[in-house]
Amino acid sequence: DAGVTQSPTHLIKTRGQQVTLRCSPKSGHDTVSWYQQALGQGPQFIFQYYEEEERQRGNFPDRFSGHQFPNYSSELNVNALLLGDSALYLCASSWNSYPGELFFGEGSRLTVL
């Protein structure tokens, strides 16, 4: 049973560019959350998707957007990249019935130059 898979694992962009990160949830999970983890810090909640809708959003600007597909996979898009967007982006999946019990992928490491 595959766990949460994310792609790409590493990528480098320049300021002003746009990036799309992808996530496939653990089999059977219906909810996907995205977190940003800066070096040496804990993950920060970006948003959560359930039933293809954004259900809750953290304190991130509109440059951060997402999508959930009918097969529960998800994308995170970041527009107009800033140097400060450099971080590890984590996808976490869960069952809607057990919120908080998250299964995390290994993350996508984004470097903005």
Partner 1 sequence: GNSVTQMEGPVTLSEEAFLTINCTYTATGYPSLFWYVQYPGEGLQLLLKATKADDKGSNKGFEATYRKETTSFHLEKGSVQVSDSAVYFCAAKGSSNTGKLIFGQGTTLQVKP
Residue ranges binding partner 1 (CB under 8 A)? 3-4, 31, 33, 35, 40-45, 48, 50, 55-56, 58, 90, 92, 94, 96, 99-107
Task: For the CB of residue 43, give the shortest distance to partner 1 in the complex, in Å.
Answer: 5
Q: How far is the CB of 73 from partner 1 (least distance, A)?
A: 17
Q: Considering the complex, what minimum distance in angstroms separates the CB of residue 113 from partner 1?
A: 25
Nearest to 86 by CA among 33, 6, 14, 4: 14
